[in-house]
């Protein structure tokens, strides 16, 4: 009897599927877009039918995001799917790339800091805050 069912291939022993730097960057993009929309992990997870812990794993790149799940995330965030890939993949390039700004915005609290900074109306105060942050960054 012929077996017409396609076989599911499994990774060879010792070659389990692990996340890559691409998965981490993609998750960081999801997180950045969620934060840009001032949405909590709980709120987005609820829209997706997930626990916030699962969403957190996606955002940290601990778990891979399936294409269908990424499409669901784009719909839930009302964001074009392409946004998650901009600057990560370059045609003909071997390694995913990110801009310095994307790296900076992926840092915990970065988007909140930018939003709060933008809310400062006084240009002198903004300049002093920037000087303070630069001085603190130079200490590290």
Query: Does some domain include residue 53?
Result: yes
**Per-residue model confidence (pLDDT) at position 99:** 60
**Per-residue model confidence (pLDDT) at position 125:** 93
Query: Does some domain include residue 81?
Result: yes
CATH code for the domain of 50: 1.10.260.40
Please state the pTM of the whole predicted model.
0.59
On whether the CB atoms of residues 117 and 126 are closer than 8 A, the answer is yes
Condensed to tens digits (0 to 9), the pLDDT of residues 3-25 reads 444 443 444 544 557 888 889 88
Query: Does some domain include residue 32?
Result: yes
Task: State the DSSP string of 84-136.
Answer: GTTTT--TT-SS----HHHHHHTSTTHHHHHHHHHH---HHHHHHHHHHHHHH
Query: Does some domain include residue 92?
Result: yes
Condensed to tens digits (0 to 9), the pLDDT of residues 64-120 reads 999 999 999 999 999 889 888 877 765 544 444 456 666 677 777 888 888 888 899
Query: Does some domain include residue 4?
Result: no
**Per-residue model confidence (pLDDT) at position 16:** 59
Number of structural domains, the chain? 1
Q: Which domain holds residue 71?
A: 21-108
On whether the CB atoms of residues 32 and 60 are closer than 8 A, the answer is no
On whether the CB atoms of residues 44 and 34 are closer than 8 A, the answer is yes
């Amino acid at each position: 009897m012929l077996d017409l069912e396609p076989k599911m291939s499994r990774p060879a022993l010792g070659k389990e599927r692990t996340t890559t730097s691409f998965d981490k960057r993609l998750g960081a993009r999801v997180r950045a877009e969620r934060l840009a929309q001032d949405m909590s992990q709980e709120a987005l997870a609820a829209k997706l039918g997930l626990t916030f812990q699962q969403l957190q794993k996606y955002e940290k790149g601990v778990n891979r995001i399936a294409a269908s799940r990424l499409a669901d995330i784009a719909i839930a965030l009302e964001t074009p799917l392409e946004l998650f890939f901009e600057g990560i993949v370059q045609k003909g390039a071997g390694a995913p790339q990110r801009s310095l700004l994307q790296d900076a915005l992926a840092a915990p609290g970065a988007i909140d800091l930018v939003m709060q900074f933008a809310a400062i109306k006084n240009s002198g105060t903004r300049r002093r805050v920037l000087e303070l942050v630069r001085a603190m960054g130079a200490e590290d």
